Amino acid sequence: MNVGFIGLGSMGLPMARNLAKAGHSVTAWNRTRARAEELKGDGARIAERPQEACQGDAVFSMLADDSAVEELFLGPGNLVAALGARTVHISSSTISVELARRLVAAHQAAGRDFISAPVFGRPSAAEAAQLIIAVAGPPQAIARCQPLLDALGRKTVIVGQDPPAANVFKLAGNFLISSTLEALGEAFTLLRKSGVDPRIFYETMTASLFAAPVYKGYGSLILEGKFQPAGFKVLLGLKDVRLVLGAADAVSVPMPFANIVRDHLLTAVARGWQDDDWSSLARVVEENAGL
């Protein structure tokens, strides 16, 4: 398939590379051209303008936040108008539910298909094509794009036909992850301050009651204090938890624990840790306990 890719950050670059490795013809664009140049060796064509990436069978967007997506697709960039007659826009960015609804309306008005397909997984999972992809949109458009999704992840979950449903799904998942970071931070801090080795606890729990990647991976980062290089930065985690709270507010769902996590991530930013991995919110818990 002919596929465009817009946004080549720590997640977008390996995703675009895997599409090329799977035999798809990739046209890539990134605001910083040097990132796009890294795909030349994989056979990708480098677009001079983002509009050039919008003419194939599909175009992925993997951008940092709402403002970046809005600027390119609804604002001055107006990429919705640049989409080819049969080009499906696949948005893999973690964005607000409200923006997803506006994107749906804009694509419908232009007569173009829009799919929300945010992903679960850190950059290492993107590199290994082991992402979990939450997808919502027109069934026929999803079916057409399934070969592309198969090249990126180990599992595609069809959430529904309304694209914003996938964005709610993604935000709920990120809330669970951030809650796990808070819980690990509190548990390890209790153990440390009580004179108990948290490593023994970690090894026991992750081999039995909590034998899951999120506990194993993030638990290890917190134990080692390995917050650099960041797989997912504090600043992005704060952005996502704020999006969770916005989505909850829109449907009158109190989420008190999300507020706690937001405050701890905000504290991490205030202490200058915005570029550390978001698991460093455990360090906020430790400091609050006097460690």
- Dihedral class, residue 43 (left if φ above 0, else alpha if ψ from -120 to 50, else beta): left
Tell me the longest C-alpha to C-alpha distance in the chain. 65
d(CA 83, CA 19): 20
Question: Length of the chain in residues, anyone?
Answer: 291
Question: What are the φ/ψ torsions at residue 160 (nearest 5 degrees)?
Answer: 165, -170
Q: How many CB atoms lie within 10 A of CB 71?
A: 14
The DSSP result for 90-113, as a single string, is EE-S---HHHHHHHHHHHHHHT--
Looking at this protein, which amino acid is placed at residue 193?
A: K
User: Could you tell me if 234 and 280 are in contact, meaning their C-beta atoms sit under 8 angstroms apart?
Assistant: yes
Of 21, 40, 155, 170, the catalytic one is 170
Give just the sign of the alpha carbon dihedral 190, 196, 202, 205.
negative
In sequence order, the β-bridge partners of residue 28 are 5, 46
User: Could you tell me if 150 and 179 are in contact, meaning their C-beta atoms sit under 8 angstroms apart?
Assistant: no
Of 39, 33, 45, 47, nearest to 18 by C-alpha is: 39
Active-site residue, 40 included: no
How many Cα atoms are found within 13 Å in the side-chain-facing hemisphere of 105?
7
Q: Is 89 helix (H, G, I), strand (E, B) or coil?
A: strand
Q: How far is CA 22 from the centre of its chain?
A: 22
Tokens describing residue 256: 């008190």
Catalytic residue list: 170
